[in-house]
Chains A and B, each alone.
Chain A
């Protein structure tokens, strides 16, 4: 348990969910990626990925960018500024929570 349990309250639960954390992390390291790339990269089913992306889009963390590649319409997914800021804050908070944990459990 953290010395200061209130730190845990600062953890963004939307990002903390493992699958969404993978999606956000993947989008964080690139400028944009399409659905198929994310699906292959994260080895997720289309339904599962779609449902998690919808939640991230609702929160304003992911935006859908319509563009043309070789005159064909293409839809790319991008982490918004809000999404990047939320992820950076999440990293900071989770690091703090883990650092605050005692190196040995108190009952030992």
Chain B
């Protein structure tokens, strides 16, 4: 619910965040992100067992396959229950800027790793810095990315996912367990939470009969 108190500073940003929160309370985004993380983990696990990897396909799976399915499911589950909202270009631009920034950061990280695999002394020093602390670096990066999305979208549960990821990867720094298992665990945690949210959402907003999803005829 939008709360506007005239004695408080009226914050449009707060209303915008509440709208995002309300639109994503169905847990669908969690389920799809969780499945994606699970796919990543499964691919790594598969590549260690069979030496067959689809890592070059995985990054394209989310925008090409999962996003269209998510939109379609959203139209079937969320829209008939709480209605439809179209966010302005300002919010979309902000998310696009974050995604672009992350892509650039990802490419930068890839280049750093490429340089570190060279045989020069400085590359060896870099490698000695990255490899032993890999789990910590990935954990902090994942927590930072998650927090960035949490702040932009106003979805507080993303902070929790970030913290869980950080805790798991920090544990992984001290315990030797294959990397894929950490991804599978995080993916499962996110999916389970998504389904809990989805069940709660469906119970809270039962499907309405007739044409009540649309604007009143009297208007």
CB distance from A17 to the nearest CB of B (A): 12
Q: Mark interface residues in A17-40 (1 if CB within 8 Å of B CB, else 0).
A: 010011001101111111111111
CB distance from B101 to the nearest CB of A (A): 23
CA distance A43 to B205 in the complex (A): 13
Q: Is the CB of A41 within 8 A of B1?
A: yes
A42: interface (CB < 8 Å): yes
Total A residues in contact with B, Cβ cutoff 8 Å: 36
CA distance A76 to B213 in the complex (A): 10
B15: interface (CB < 8 Å): yes
Q: Which of chain B's residues has its CB closest to A98's CB?
A: B6
Find A33's partner among B16, B18, B75, B85 (CB 8 Å cutoff). Answer: B85
Q: Is the CB of B83 within 8 A of A75?
A: no
Q: Which of chain B's residues has its CB closest to A53's CB?
A: B219
B2: interface (CB < 8 Å): yes
Q: Which of chain B's residues has its CB closest to A23's CB?
A: B2
CA distance A77 to B75 in the complex (A): 18
CA distance A31 to B88 in the complex (A): 5
The number of chain B residues touching the other chain, given as a range, is 20 to 34
Residues from 43 to 60 in A contacting B, C-beta threshold 8 Å? 43, 46, 49-50, 53-54, 57
Q: Is the CB of A40 within 8 A of B12?
A: no
B215: interface (CB < 8 Å): yes
Q: Is the CB of B1 within 8 A of A50?
A: no
For A64, list chain B residues within 8 Å (CB).
215, 219
Q: Is the CB of B88 within 8 A of A29?
A: yes
For B213, list chain A residues within 8 Å (CB).
34-36
Q: Is the CB of B219 within 8 A of A57?
A: yes
Q: Is the CB of A39 within 8 A of B219?
A: no
For A75, list chain B residues within 8 Å (CB).
214-215
Q: Is the CB of B216 within 8 A of A50?
A: yes
Q: Is the CB of B19 within 8 A of A41?
A: yes
Q: Is the CB of B212 within 8 A of A36?
A: yes
For B87, list chain A residues within 8 Å (CB).
30-31
CA distance A18 to B82 in the complex (A): 23
For A54, list chain B residues within 8 Å (CB).
218-219
Q: Is the CB of A33 within 8 A of B84?
A: yes
Q: Mark interface residues in B58-87 (1 if CB within 8 Å of A CB, else 0).
A: 000000000000000001000100111111
CA distance A76 to B87 in the complex (A): 12
CB distance from A103 to the nearest CB of B (A): 14
Q: Is the CB of B22 within 8 A of A40?
A: yes
For B131, list chain A residues within 8 Å (CB).
none
Q: Beyond A25-B12, A29-B16, A35-B215, is A42–B84 a contact (Cβ under 8 Å)?
A: no
9 CB-based A-B contacts, threshold 8 Å: A25-B15, A26-B2, A35-B83, A36-B82, A37-B82, A37-B83, A38-B83, A46-B216, A57-B219
**Which residues on A are within 8 Å of B, measured CB to CB?**
18, 21-22, 25-26, 28-43, 46, 49-50, 53-54, 57, 64, 69-70, 73-77, 91
> Apart from A33-B86, A35-B215, what 6 extra A-B contacts exist at CB < 8 Å?
A25-B10, A30-B16, A36-B212, A41-B2, A70-B75, A74-B84
